[in-house]
Structure 1
Amino acid sequence: MSYEFVPIKTDDKSIEEVTNLLRVTFPHAKKYTKEFVVWQYVNNPLGNMIGYNAFLNGELAAHYALMPIRAKVFGKEENGLLSLNTATHPNHRGKRLFTTLADRSYALASDLGFGFVIGVANAQSTPGFLKKLNFQFVGRLDAKLGWGKFARKVTDAKIDYYRVWDETSIQWRLSNPELRYKVKNNRVSSSTDNFAIQAVLKDFDSEHSLDDNQFSLGFTPLKVWIGIDHTVDWKRSFYFNIPMKIRPSPLNLIFKDLTDKDRKFEFSGVTFSALDFDAY
């Protein structure tokens, strides 16, 4: 059984193939419409998705895609990639295709000048990223549930990593065809699958000025927050850790340096929000 490994494409036929594979791989995820895949793979102002596909006899067997992003890494802005969609058709599982796709994708990314790959892995996928693909385990994202405003604290802590957003990338991120976002007072929020709970995705600072919209999240007095933000004083905020036993899975932040510098992060030097990946 000989697979053909080729870089992913974003023409109509390729988008259709990827959409179908994502639907088969994740049958309970309703978001994988063709419009959603085009939004992710083609419309990103920072560039099309990159990665690799595995084909067998003309059938798309496995797929790995990374999304171009901008981030400030150790004080310098650079292009990087968000590890995003991994899919293997049920008929082709157990063939170790993902490792091959990942290795080829990272080599391609390095050749294209991308400096890093960052991602959020669940409990099942984390060991493979760490042991087989040499990612760094940065830390587990905080998950809080509560109400009211965040109490902020003054800190001069050095931030070694945070994602860079500009007006164009923000507007693209908020144009997700499968989910609507509420924007008010520079805060981006969304609905969740849980009654009376909204998700706080990101509070933008005064550097940005987002226009409020009129979208209502309905009756959602409780708020869930996921990420890493050392400027929030949780002791003075009415938010509490969500116990691990009731979380669907721990969300682990992982990082891979694509340069020859072997860069690594301390958890205390990272800022990361739910808007920075695909939780909502």
Structure 2
Amino acid sequence: MSYSTKIVNSKLELMSYKTQIIHLFSLAFEKDMDESLWEWAFMENPCGDPIVSLCFEGDVLVGHYAIIPYDLTYQGQVIKGSLSMTTMVHPEHHKKGIFVELAQQVYGVAEELEYDLVFGFPNKNSAPGFERKLDWVIDKEYHVIKITKNDINQYFSELGPESLRFDLNNKELIDWRLSKPNCNYEQLNDGLIVKEFEGSLDIMHHEREFSDINDDINLSIISKCAPEDSNVLFDYVFGYRFFNQDLKNLPITPSLILSDVF
């Protein structure tokens, strides 16, 4: 088989491949893509243009890897982050090294454009590949837990060190992030963003301030805790790779507002 690849770093150019990308998604994941969600994530993102690597066999799209710009903040400084998105390979072209090649191409462009890091939330099947083949650091200590406000201090007794995090001061970023199609988000105060889900609240972002939440409502929240804890709903695998080596030792605070994108 002979493959060709193409890097796309323009929203306008990427739109010309939309139909092929949506078709590949349906083959790779055996479900239809929400087109409004794709346009929101890739076209409406206020942080800039995505970087997408496409793999073709002839005229047929058989591989796709992308990152979208996703700025973070540290001590008031903007950190040029990117979120790993929609890794997909045509079912008939697995185990050909396509994913790794496409990702390496994307990271090369990201470094040229002076991105500081890429981060993402691979599932348990893909996380080892990111770690071994793409030099990601994978953190498996986080879990999503289901608790009420009365349990908060049990899981968050002390403030952690200042870290890279979602930028609450970037109004354009917040407005875009909370406009994700088919979701109901609410910013309760300057440090707390929630999403209604099946009668409970997903804590999308918090700064240890929960006073605006009723005591008896169920909360889904990220925490480092023992995997056998009875409140654990599921594991939350988080990974990253720094391009800017001057920042590589900085801690990163994962949150649902970073992962709940696509």
The reply to whether TM is greater than 0.5 is yes
Q: What is the aligned partner in structure 2 of residue 26 from structure 1?
A: 29
Q: What is the aligned partner in structure 1 of residue 257 from structure 2?
A: 275
Residues 227 and 273 of structure 1 are in contact (CA less than 8 Å); yes or no, is this contact kept in structure 2?
no
Identity %: 22
Deviation digits for residues 158-202 of structure 1 (CA, Å, limit 9, x no counterpart): 32322324111011011112322234345332244xx54432212
Residues 142 and 241 of structure 1 are in contact (CA less than 8 Å); yes or no, is this contact kept in structure 2?
no
- Please, which of 161, 164, 167 is the counterpart of residue 158 of structure 1? 161
Instruction: Check 1:167–1:49 CA distance in 2 against 1; reply closer, same or farther (3 A cut).
Output: same
Report SS of the residue matched to 1:142: strand
Instruction: Check 1:10–1:90 CA distance in 2 against 1; reply closer, same or farther (3 A cut).
Output: farther
State yes or no: 1:45 paired with 2:46: yes
Q: What is the aligned partner in structure 2 of residue 255 from structure 1?
A: 240
Instruction: Check 1:160–1:39 CA distance in 2 against 1; reply closer, same or farther (3 A cut).
Output: same
Residues 122 and 237 of structure 2 are in contact (CA less than 8 Å); yes or no, is this contact kept in structure 1?
yes
What does residue range 48-67 of structure 1 map to in structure 2 within 5 Å? 48-67=49-68
State yes or no: 1:95 paired with 2:96: yes
Counterparts of 2:59 and 2:86 in 1: how far apart (Å)?
21
Gaps of 5+ in 1: 207-211, 213-219, 229-233, 235-239
Instruction: Check 1:153–1:146 CA distance in 2 against 1; reply closer, same or farther (3 A cut).
Output: closer
Report the Cα offset of residue 270 of structure 1: 3.2
What does residue range 145-224 of structure 1 map to in structure 2 within 5 Å? 145-148=146-149, 150-151=152-153, 155=159, 157-165=160-168, 166-186=170-190, 187-192=192-197, 195-203=198-206, 221-224=217-220
Instruction: Check 1:148–1:75 CA distance in 2 against 1; reply closer, same or farther (3 A cut).
Output: closer
What do you get for the CA RMSD once the two structures are aligned?
2.9
- Please, which of 222, 225, 232 is the counterpart of residue 226 of structure 1? 222
Instruction: Check 1:126–1:242 CA distance in 2 against 1; reply closer, same or farther (3 A cut).
Output: farther
Equivalent AA in structure 2 for residue 252 of structure 1: V
Residues 147 and 231 of structure 2 are in contact (CA less than 8 Å); yes or no, is this contact kept in structure 1?
no
Deviation digits for residues 94-122 of structure 1 (CA, Å, limit 9, x no counterpart): 21200000111100100011011111122
Residues 70 and 163 of structure 1 are in contact (CA less than 8 Å); yes or no, is this contact kept in structure 2?
yes
Report SS of the residue matched to 1:2: coil
Residues 136 and 264 of structure 1 are in contact (CA less than 8 Å); yes or no, is this contact kept in structure 2?
no
Aligned residues: 246
Report the Cα offset of residue 3 of structure 1: 1.0
Residues 75 and 160 of structure 1 are in contact (CA less than 8 Å); yes or no, is this contact kept in structure 2?
no
Per the normalisation by structure 2, the TM-score is 0.81
Residues 145 and 241 of structure 1 are in contact (CA less than 8 Å); yes or no, is this contact kept in structure 2?
no
Deviation digits for residues 36-79 of structure 1 (CA, Å, limit 9, x no counterpart): 11110011110122121111111111111111111235874321
Gaps of 5+ in 2: none
Equivalent AA in structure 2 for residue 22 of structure 1: F
Counterparts of 2:28 and 2:138 in 1: how far apart (Å)?
26
Per the normalisation by structure 1, the TM-score is 0.76
